[in-house]
Amino acid sequence: MLQHEQGHFDIAEVFARMMRKEMAEMDLGDCKKLDLLIKKRYNKVFNKMQEMQELYDFETEHSQNRTEQIIWLNHIKQLLEKYSDYRNQNVVLYHH
């Protein structure tokens, strides 16, 4: 059960990293729309995270399906590695 809950935590970290990536890649050319741009990207990433959290619970049957649990933990680990460049909590935004 603890591994399953750690999986939820790690999924949230994956999407935090995705959000940092989104922020780092934003074009800040029009600062007047910056708030709207950030909200749109946040909502997109947050919704994807919610979907993955629900799919994780469904496919693992809340950790009861051991095979799926292992598959998911490996998938989450790969995603954490994929976004490892964005594990730092600081995001630097550049105005072009």
Residue 68 to residue 61: CA distance in whole angstroms: 8
Query: Model confidence at 15, in pLDDT bands (50, 70, 90)?
Result: very high
The pLDDT tens digits of the residues spanning 22-74 come to 888 887 776 777 888 889 999 999 999 999 999 999 999 999 999 999 999 99
Look at residue 70 in the predicted model and tell me its pLDDT.
97
User: pTM for this one?
Assistant: 0.85
Sign of the CA dihedral with 17 first, then 22, 25, and 27 last: negative
pLDDT band at 9 (very low <50, low <70, confident <90, very high): very high
pLDDT of residue 4: 96
